[in-house]
Amino acid sequence: MLSRWPIRNKLLAGLGLLLVIVATLSGSGFYGFYAYRETVRRLSSRANELPLTTELSQAVGDLKASLYRLAPEKNRPSSAGPPEGEQPLTEFSRGLAQVQKSLHSYRTQLEADELYAPRADGIWNERRTMAQIDVVLTKLARDVEGVSTPLAAEDFAQLDADVQQLRKLAAVLPGFFHEDLRTLRDDVRGQYRTLIVLAWVTSILALLLFVLFVKLFYDWVFRPLRILVKGSRRVAAGQFSYRIQLDTRDEMSELAEAMNDMTARFRAIRDDLDEQVRERTNQVIRSEQLASVGFLAAGVAHEINNPLASIAMCAESLESRLGSLLPADHADQDVVRSYLKMIQTEAFRCKEITEKLLDFSRLCDTQHQPAELRELVQGVIDMVGHIGKYHGKQVVLLPGPAVMAQVNPQEIKQVVLNLVTNGLDSLEPGGLVQIELAQRAGLAELVITDNGCGMTSDVLAQIFQPFFTRRRNGQGTGLGLSITYRIVADHGGHIEASSAGPGLGSRFCVTLPLAANPSRKESRHQYQAA
């Protein structure tokens, strides 16, 4: 399903995976950073509170020492004594103020640290203890007012009890500090384990997402590109039958299909061009052969015609004088007469051949005129129908509309006659020659089909060459189809022979332009120059 997405969506999906990977790693890093910062803040706040607790304890100790200086003689330690130049009661009041100042500094620091590193469990106990210390300090300040030195035993006992309670409360505060450190230690251990697990989880998740990204990139981009490049190289190497197969259903697949269509069209165009080149080459070779044969035939026909006429005339003269030269009852008279007849027959046959050679080599321009081709074809069929050797064989012109073309009627009749007689000669008795005449794509198309002996591929390759014949009776000069090819070419047309094989009949297709071919005279002059 995802493989059918457009490349734009696939790239956006890949970008989304990269963003998820970056966000996962960044989230893990930021979490560790903020956890570290919180730990440092808590340690910093406790470090700031530690001197204040010590200062508070020291101030309470000094207050107790100044209290002993106010004690009666019997309760005063030997080491205690009022400082010089200062009354004990003033010293005690100053010590009490110092305790209040230290407590205020500690409370201020506690409130300031609470803004950055709140401690929900320990702060309540510390605030409660501070409140109790405030009560004791207030009571001490009230009790010390109105007393005189030396203190009475009852006043000393009361003040000493208050100072002892104050000392106990001040001593509790470091305990909260140490308890908070133990809590911080446990929190740090928990955070450490959490960070380790989070680091492994995020690393594995990022690795899996990266592997998924690489796989998707390979399936969506790299593999199709590699297939396209490989297919393009194979096509460029000449393997035009190769087809690129992609199942991505995206722009890559469309590009592969376009390349396949382009390769198929190029192959078709190449094959068509190759076929046209072969056909044009064969036509050029055939035209050169016809030109060479025509040039040779003209000279041979003119040189042979006169000797043949002399031979025929001498044979005829000898035949007429045979009775006076040999007695009527001479045994060899009939033999001589038959030989003379044979000489005359073969001489006239040679004369017909030379006349065909002259027709083949005739290069004069002929006039083209509008002609109805169906009438010309029908006239040839009627003429062939009176030839005795073709009785028992059928020639059929399929019905159709009239076809007008600018042609030389006599030459076109000769073309039709050559093709029809060629087809009839290939038939067994009862065979059929079928003629179809139609107008297609601005051309007159004449198709002559028979169900005779057919032709092999070797015969088809040489069918229009001069003096090539495969008549069943062994007769023929092999010039009929060559003359036909030359006439069709002079008209600017094209003739093509085909056969499915021996015994499967033959088919000749002649196409002629409906209008006169302007290049006809030029082709004739080129033919003559050759």
Both 357 and 386 in one domain: the answer is: no
263 with 146, same domain: the answer is no
Last residue of a domain, one of 170, 204, 221: 221
CATH code assigned at 261: 1.10.287.130
Please indicate, yes or no, if residue 231 is contained in any of the structural domains. no
Domain annotation covers residue 242: no
Containing 105, the helix (H) or strand (E) segment is helix 88-116
Hey, which residues does 406 pair with through a beta bridge? 370
The position carrying tokens 């309470």 is 60
Query: Residue 240 domain-assigned?
Result: no
Q: Are 122 and 33 members of one domain?
A: yes
Asked, for residue 493, whether it belongs to a domain, the answer is: yes
What interhelical angle do 88-116 and 120-144 show, nearest 10?
160
Residues 347 and 375 in one domain: no
**In a shared domain, residues 400 and 386:** yes
Is residue 236 assigned to a domain? no
Cα Rg of the chain (Å, integer): 64
* 284 token code pair: 């050029």
**Residue 84's pLDDT band (cuts 50, 70, 90):** very low
Which range of 277-286, 331-340, 455-464 scores highest in mean pLDDT? It is 455-464
pLDDT for the residue numbered 530: 39
Which residue range(s) make up the domain with 183? Answer: 2-221
Question: What mean pLDDT value characterizes the chain?
Answer: 77
Query: Domain count of the chain?
Result: 3
pLDDT at 260 over 80: yes
- pLDDT (0 to 100) of residue 487: 86
- Both 282 and 375 in one domain: the answer is no
Instruction: Dump pLDDT digits (tens) for 392-402.
Output: 888 999 998 98
CATH number, domain of 505, equals 3.30.565.10
| Of the candidate ranges 267-281, 380-394, 509-523, the one whose mean pLDDT is the lowest | 509-523
The pLDDT tens digits of the residues spanning 128-146 come to 888 888 888 888 888 777 6
Looking at 314, 346, 362, the residue that finishes a domain is 362
pLDDT, tens digit, 9 for 90 and up, residues 443-473:
999 999 998 888 888 888 878 777 666 655 5
User: What would the DSSP string read from start to end of 285-324?
Assistant: HHHHHHHHHHHHHHHHHHHHHHHHHHHHHHHHHHHHTHHH
Q: Do 93 and 198 lie in a common domain?
A: yes
Coil/strand/helix, residue 456: coil
Angstrom distances, CA of residue 154 to CA of 75, 143, 151, 160, 443: 12, 12, 8, 10, 147
Whether 513 is in a domain gets the answer yes
What does the pLDDT read at residue 86? 45
- Residues 107 and 99 sit within 8 Å (Cβ to Cβ): no
Helices (H), 218-250: 223-236
Question: Is residue 256 domain-shared with residue 313, that is, in the same domain?
Answer: yes
Of the residues 362, 390, 424, the one at which a domain ends: 362
Whether residue 83 has pLDDT greater than 50 = no
d(C-alpha 385, C-alpha 387), whole Å: 6
Q: Cα separations (Å) of 468 from 344, 354, 452, 453, 495? A: 26, 16, 18, 17, 17
Domain shared by 399 and 503, yes or no: yes
Residue 228 located in a structural domain: no
Which pLDDT belongs to residue 522?
45
Question: Considering Cα of 402, then 407, then 410, then 412, what sign does the dihedral take?
Answer: negative
- Examine the domain organization and report whether 352 and 370 are in the same domain: no
User: Both 378 and 292 in a single domain?
Assistant: no
Q: Could you report the per-residue pLDDT of 413-451, keeping only the tens digit for each?
A: 889 988 998 888 888 888 899 999 998 888 999 999 998
Our CA angle for 166, 167, 172, nearest 5°, is 100
Is 320's pLDDT higher than 50?
Answer: yes
Q: Is residue 239 part of a domain?
A: no
| 371 and 356 both lie in a single domain | no
**Cβ neighbours around 72 below 10 Å, total:** 13
Question: What pLDDT is attached to residue 85?
Answer: 38
Burial class (CB in 10 A: 0-12, 13-18, 19+), 39: middle
The pTM of the full predicted model, rounded to 2 decimals, is 0.42
